[in-house]
Amino acid sequence: MRSILYWLARLLGDISAVKRGRVGRRLARRAAGRATGKGLGRLFK
């Protein structure tokens, strides 16, 4: 259930970014967040 809510929130954020013309910025932040998460995951393994 929670994963569906997170997915929906991400989808609504994407739609909002498209409307405001900030898609590139959003994608860059998402990629940076993934990279940070992977790095921290490796660090605290």
Q: pLDDT tens digit string along 2-36?
A: 999 999 999 999 999 999 988 889 889 989 999 99
Would the pTM of this model clear 0.75, i.e. be above it? no
Structural domain boundaries, residue 23: 2-43
Strands annotated E in 1-45: none
Element (H, E) at 16: helix 2-20
3-state class (DSSP) for residue 45: coil
Q: How far apart, in whole angstroms, are the C-alpha atoms of residue 36 and residue 43? A: 10
Do the beta carbons of residue 37 and residue 43 sit within 8 Å? no
Q: How far apart, in whole angstroms, are the C-alpha atoms of residue 5 and residue 32? A: 22
Residue 45: pLDDT over 90? no
Number of domains in the chain: 1
